[in-house]
Structure 1
Amino acid sequence: MSAAFEKESESPTRMTVWRDGSNITAAPPDIANRPFLAQMLLSSSREGDMTAMRVFMEPGTMTNWHSHPRGQLLFVVSGIGHVQRHGEAAECVRAGDTVWFAEGERHRHGAASDSSFSYLSVQCVRDGTAVRWLDTAESEDAEQ
């Protein structure tokens, strides 16, 4: 994750409850074409730990290209979004859909131009990080 998301050195060691609306923070400005919010659920830099967040995007928000060293599970909570593997057309996803991005797979995801988009993402830490940010999303239209 970006440094702003990696606040803990390891995941909690006992049951933890995060209340709705807690731990919400602005995402770093350099990881998407516009600002969005994330509720950090699990943040860690310890090898093998899981990280998880709930993301809230306004219409038209798209992450920059990135990959995850051990893959990413993305569950759409609400709205309509687009997911895209580099070099392929974007696919529309809706509430209830689940997406798996394979280990190291270059991809991006975000809200459709006319819908907000919220999702839960889970990814595992390898070599101290759960994400590798690549280039910006602004140069291409996700709704190809």
Structure 2
Amino acid sequence: MTIKRPIQVTLLLAMLCTGSAFADGVKVTANGAQPSLAGSSDYSSGAVVVDMLFVANEYSQVSGAYVTFAPGARAAWHTHPRGQKLIVTSGTGWVQEWGKDKQVIKPGDAVQIAPGIKHWHGATSTQGMRHIAIQEAVEGKNVEWMEQVSDDQYAK
């Protein structure tokens, strides 16, 4: 099942699930307290699951999520206004900057993507991959989605 919902709505849902406003101090959101979200077919190909870790709030415009890609699954081409950081936690994947060769990413690898760089990331064709994605919003928007990664682009 694919849930089609813009990223801002997804983040709003996550904020409602976690309570974006909290008093100064320490807030723990228990593992499993938030529902997993199916990746939208508008922004990805294949089976993708997003598990929000934290969302932007009045203190910080940074959000983070576990993103799990089944073999062959990948994000569409996209950019981030303040860049993105990925930390691979399991499996094997690929990341590619527009116009450059794709790179293999494995558990423990940290990927830094500069602001405005058109890129995609996802699993290899034979292995799934999970990473933590961290990005910052500008005026409430943390990603600009573009076209899907074609099968030819993915295979190169």
TM-score (norm: length of structure 1): 0.88
* Alpha carbons 1:71, 1:101 under 8 Å: kept: yes
**Stretches of structure 2 lacking an aligned partner (at least 5 in a row):** 1-5
Q: Give the match for residue 50 of structure 1.
A: 62
Q: Secondary structure at the match of 1:3?
A: helix
When Rg is computed on C-alpha atoms for both structures, the one with the higher figure is: 2
Q: Percent identity?
A: 26
Shift of 1:29: 1.8
Shift of 1:48: 4.9
Matched, 1:88 2:100: yes
Q: Secondary structure at the match of 2:74?
A: coil
Between the two structures, name the one with larger relative contact order (CA 8 Å, sep ≥ 6): 1
- After superposition, the Cα gap between the structure-2 partners of 1:131 and 1:45, relative to the gap in structure 1 and judged at 3 Å, is farther
Matched, 1:6 2:18: no
Shift of 1:15: 1.5
Shift of 1:3: 3.5
Structure having the larger proportion of residues in helix: 2
Pairing of 1:28-107 with structure 2 (within 5 A): 28-44=40-56, 48-107=60-119
Task: Name the count of aligned residue pairs.
Answer: 144
Shift of 1:141: 2.6
Matches of 1:47 and 1:58 in 2, distance apart?
34
* Alpha carbons 1:51, 1:123 under 8 Å: kept: yes
**Stretches of structure 1 lacking an aligned partner (at least 5 in a row):** none
Shift of 1:103: 0.7
Farther off after superposition, 18-27 or 117-126: 18-27
Matches of 2:36 and 2:42 in 1, distance apart?
18
> What is the RMSD computed on CA atoms of the aligned residues?
2.3
* Alpha carbons 1:56, 1:119 under 8 Å: kept: yes
Farther off after superposition, 95-104 or 8-17: 8-17
Q: Secondary structure at the match of 1:75?
A: strand
Matches of 1:129 and 1:83 in 2, distance apart?
22
